[in-house]
Chain A
Amino acid sequence: MRAGPRRAAWPLLLLAAPLPGCAGSETQSVLEPLGPEAALLANLSWLLFAGGGLIFLVTMACAALAVWGGEAQRRTLGSRRLIVAGGIVFPVVVLTVLLLETLSLSRTLGARSPDGGEPLRIEVVGRQFWWDVRYPGASPDDAVATANEIHIPVGREVELRVSAGDVYHSLWIPSLQGKIDMVPGRVNTLRLRAGEPGVARGQCTEFCGAQHALMAFWVVAETPEDHARWLERQRLPAGEPADEFLALGRRVFGTAGCGTCHAVRGTEWDGRIGPDLTRVGGRLSLAAGALDNHRGTLGGWIAGVQDLKPGANMPSYNTVLDGPELRAVSAWLESLK
């Protein structure tokens, strides 16, 4: 048998290249759990990595022996006993154990926590390409509507009741739980709990259209006191503009027709086609995690939506607003904190 041309082995090292990208400052990693459910999933992940890695090494060792080993070793490797043991018994045992482990884990993740206490119910509806987040509250007056951001108290069980408004979406907060599909016309439930304060990033994980890749959101886990304060603040309607420039901004919001799609409680505008903007100035990001949040990015978004997220349902308002009007409405929205 003729030996073929020798190939360099170093390109295989490139497979290791993606690894440094796993650690990030924004917590969006299955391997960096922020709560008990995520910790269970992370443990299972490590078990699979380690076990799989070990089996891989053993298999490669057998392959090496099969190619370069001595006559006796190769005969043993090819023996019926070893093939039955390694090829049938071993996989059946390992996979059965894994199956039982995974089924038990799925049941734990889906069940109500045993320590009682009312879970905090939050409704999240996936829309192209943003997250409609509502806290129902005890009565309609208590209800809170926000977008692209979910605040939860540390230590308390949270029940996310998710659905979709147009096409399939899927909600995933890697550091807190597994994925849950958002199906139009159906409500799915995801239970999770944050073990410590922090900010986790979530993503849409069911392809939903042109801007699926720019559909992220933030989960802010805070102390129960901070969370209650946040809820209280969210319930407040928008206040009066503090100066003439902001008042102009509010007028522009009306004349440009923004209220048709966007609600701002405390004003006459209550559109529900787009995100609620009552407290938009206080959010961590704009455009579902795509932009920072200040008067500059607000202006860039309003005037150039279709450049930043082509295919989004909001049109670009550069054709309608001149320079001062754009700056005024951006400043007013920024002031809604």
Chain B
Amino acid sequence: MSPAALARASLLALLAAAGAACDGEGSSAASRDVAGGDARAGRQAVAARDCGACHVIPGLRGPRGWVGPSLAGFGSRGYVAGVLPNTPENLIRWLQHPQEVAPRTAMPDLGIEPEEARHIAAFLYTLR
């Protein structure tokens, strides 16, 4: 192979390797699959409960509040409520019992049942 061709091939190989790492996964490599969670049902639940009153939620019509953090890119976020690692288990726990996770949080306990929490979690993980 000529030196130019070799250089070109090396450059291409390097770019391919770099490209493979750029899949937009965010900070954590943990799996964000929610067993038993239906993202569609979660989206409906989020709309029905008007979570937008406090949170900006991409793709949802209705109120866009800034009282709580925007949920854009939540699926890539490292921590839940700035306290717990962002895993399905922790997210579901946060949705159901916010005050147990962060006692001084402004987020209310809305009496969300485990099944609904799973669906909401599945939906939130689609926001990347």
Chain A residues in contact with chain B, CB under 8 A?
290-292, 294-297, 299-301, 303-304, 307-308, 318, 322-324, 326-327, 330-331
Tell me which of A290, A299, A318, A324 contacts B63 (CB under 8 A).
A290
Please report the total number of B residues contacting A with Cβ < 8 Å: 19
- In angstroms, Cα B66 to Cα A308, docked, is 9
Within the complex, the shortest CB–CB distance from B106 to chain A, in Å, comes to 4
Q: Which one of B7-15, B26-34, B37-45, B50-58 is at the interface?
A: B50-58
- In angstroms, Cα B62 to Cα A300, docked, is 13
Within the complex, the shortest CB–CB distance from B1 to chain A, in Å, comes to 55
CB-CB under 8 A from A323, the residues of chain B are 104-107
Q: List 24 A-B contacts (CB under 8 A).
A: A290-B63, A291-B53, A294-B49, A295-B110, A296-B53, A296-B110, A297-B50, A297-B53, A299-B108, A300-B68, A303-B54, A303-B67, A303-B106, A304-B53, A304-B54, A304-B65, A307-B65, A307-B66, A307-B67, A308-B65, A318-B67, A322-B104, A323-B104, A330-B108
Q: Does B93 contact A (CB under 8 A)?
A: no
Within the complex, the shortest CB–CB distance from B71 to chain A, in Å, comes to 13
Q: Does B97 contact A (CB under 8 A)?
A: no
- In angstroms, Cα B105 to Cα A322, docked, is 8
Residue on B nearest A330 in the bound complex, by CB: B108
Residue on B nearest A308 in the bound complex, by CB: B63
Query: In the complex the two chains form, is B110's CB within 8 Å of A292's CB?
Result: no
Residue on B nearest A323 in the bound complex, by CB: B106
Residue on B nearest A297 in the bound complex, by CB: B53
B59-99 Cβ-contact flags toward A at 8 Å (1 or 0)? 00001111110000000000000000000000000000000
Within the complex, the shortest CB–CB distance from B47 to chain A, in Å, comes to 10
Given A303-B106, A323-B104, A323-B105, A292 and B50 contact (CB-CB distance below 8 Å): yes
CB-CB under 8 A from A295, the residues of chain B are 108, 110
Closest 6 CB pairs of A and B: A300-B53, A323-B106, A300-B54, A304-B67, A292-B50, A297-B53
Query: In the complex the two chains form, is B104's CB within 8 Å of A296's CB?
Result: no
- In angstroms, Cα B107 to Cα A295, docked, is 10
Query: In the complex the two chains form, is A292's CB within 8 Å of B49's CB?
Result: yes
Within the complex, the shortest CB–CB distance from B16 to chain A, in Å, comes to 45
Tell me which of A296, A299, A304, A330 contacts B49 (CB under 8 A).
A296
Tell me which of A308, A318, A331 contacts B53 (CB under 8 A).
A308
B94-121 Cβ-contact flags toward A at 8 Å (1 or 0)? 0000000001111110100000000000
CB-CB under 8 A from A292, the residues of chain B are 48-50, 53
Within the complex, the shortest CB–CB distance from B60 to chain A, in Å, comes to 13
4 additional contacts, CB 8 Å, given A295-B110, A318-B67? A295-B108, A296-B51, A297-B53, A307-B67
Query: In the complex the two chains form, is B65's CB within 8 Å of A296's CB?
Result: no
Query: In the complex the two chains form, is A300's CB within 8 Å of B104's CB?
Result: no
Query: In the complex the two chains form, is B50's CB within 8 Å of A299's CB?
Result: no
Given A292-B49, A301-B53, A308-B53, A326 and B106 contact (CB-CB distance below 8 Å): yes
- In angstroms, Cα B123 to Cα A237, docked, is 42
